[in-house]
Amino acid sequence: MKTSLNLRAASTSPAATTPRSRSLLAACLTHALHDGYTDGLYAFLPVWQAQFGLSYAALAMVRALYYGTMGGLQIPADRVLRNWSPRATLILSTLLASAGLLLMALPLGFAGLCVGLVVAGIGSSIQHPRGSMLVTDTYGADSRRPLGIYNFSGDLGKAVLPAVVALLLPLLAWRPVLALMAVLGVALVIALLALAPNTRAARHAPAQARAGRGRSGFGILTTIGALDTATRMGYLLFLPFLIHARGGDSPTVGLALALLFLGGAFGKFTFSWLGERVGVTRCVALAETVTALLIIGTLFTPLIPTLILLPLLGIVLNGTSSVLYGTVPELSDGDTGRAFAVFYTSVIGSGGVAPILYGAIADHSSQTVGLLATAATAAAVVPLVLVLSRFIQQPSREGE
């Protein structure tokens, strides 16, 4: 106990605070840029469709080159690079992603676009497990809240960079816009040289992981993460059609998405703190229950009340991911890097497959049934969370 208290005291001393903050800033900036790259590519899809004469199915396959590469290489990237320093891995990931964008920006035709998407996806596949591992290594047993901040930083990138791209595309050709995005990556590489540590931090495996009880709990946690992501992506699939059915036009759809994402960003930032206070079980169970109820509620409300509900729905729809990410180190069974890679593979894969499944349900029934299926998915998380509670620590009230 004394050793644990000494470690905690040392980790919060002024001398330790600055390096820890710099490491967190390095991870957050990298996460923000790479997530901004990921969502920023959506803005180019109509341009590429017109430029290369692509069908919607072909356009989806082009998008999958990046998304599938990023999701499928999480585990191999962790295995190959786990002995590299955080500085080296984050710089490599950003250089590869930027190089992919530059390839896409060169006049190499459709083949160049496809190769660039694959290269950029390889770079982003490195960032997620290695950035999360940097935060966990740096903060040890106190990593839950920093991981929530790291998770939130990705949403900032998703909000800012796609908006900038959307503003630039009417003013510039699409290739110069991609080149400017790549320049941002080069700027981040320069910043990482000063911020990211060149040596790996000492690891502090949670007691439960060392006791060997994490493996079963981690499987449940990964399933919960996949279902949570499926709910979010499924609802996003139907939301534009829901708004149109209420009489909203295209700008109203944009407003609805902005309200949902705004609530989601706030939820990610606050839920990491809430999880520490009330515990993972109560926090996630409550959020998923409210998510299911609000999804059902938006089926029966007119346009304006629906828009009012969307920020509240965004809070619970996105906020739980911070709590789930923060629980990965506790259930990693000692190999936290691989655990993050597996977890990210699961949630990214779920995000890709779930809209297809929900869309098939709606095609064979109705949009309402498809939305009810997303609500049922959120509700299905609750019993799993109750099972998960046997494997995780409850929040300590010591010192309060």
C-beta of residue 127 within 8 angstroms of C-beta of residue 31: yes
Task: Determine which of 149-153, 231-235, 381-385 has the lowest per-residue pLDDT on average.
Answer: 149-153
Region class of 333: left (phi > 0), else alpha (psi between -120 and 50), else beta:
left
50-104 confidence digits (pLDDT tens): 888 877 667 767 877 888 888 888 888 878 887 888 888 899 999 999 999 999 9
Q: Report the distance separating Cα 166 and Cα 267, nearest Å.
A: 25
Helix (H) or strand (E) holding 16: helix 14-40
pLDDT at 33: 92
In this prediction the pTM is: 0.73
| Domain range list for the chain | 19-195, 207-388
Name the token pair of 261: 């994402």
Question: What is the second-level CATH architecture of the domain 19-195?
Answer: Up-down Bundle (1.20)
Name the average pLDDT for the chain.
81
Task: Determine which of 159-163, 192-196, 210-214, 376-380 has the lowest per-residue pLDDT on average.
Answer: 210-214
pLDDT at 309: 93
C-beta of residue 303 within 8 angstroms of C-beta of residue 179: no
pLDDT at 200: 63
Name the token pair of 371: 């939305």
- Count helices and strands in the chain by DSSP H and E runs: 16, 0
Helices (H), 73-213: 74-81, 86-105, 109-139, 144-168, 174-195, 207-210
- Amino acid at site 133: M
CATH topology of domain 207-388: Growth Hormone; Chain: A; (1.20.1250)
CA-based angle 276:128:236, to the nearest 5? 75
pLDDT at 82: 77
Q: Do domains 19-195 and 207-388 have the same CATH topology?
A: yes
pLDDT at 379: 94
321-372 confidence digits (pLDDT tens): 878 877 887 777 767 777 888 888 888 888 778 877 888 888 888 889 989 9
pLDDT at 397: 46
C-beta of residue 303 within 8 angstroms of C-beta of residue 243: yes
pLDDT at 211: 45
Per-residue pLDDT averaged across 305-333, rounded? 85
Q: Report the distance separating Cα 120 and Cα 33, nearest Å.
A: 12
The terminus-to-terminus CA distance of the chain in angstroms comes to 18
pLDDT at 30: 92
- Of these ranges, 5-9, 10-14, 33-37, 396-400, the one predicted with the greatest mean pLDDT is 33-37
C-beta of residue 258 within 8 angstroms of C-beta of residue 366: no
Percent of the chain whose predicted confidence (pLDDT) is above 70: 88
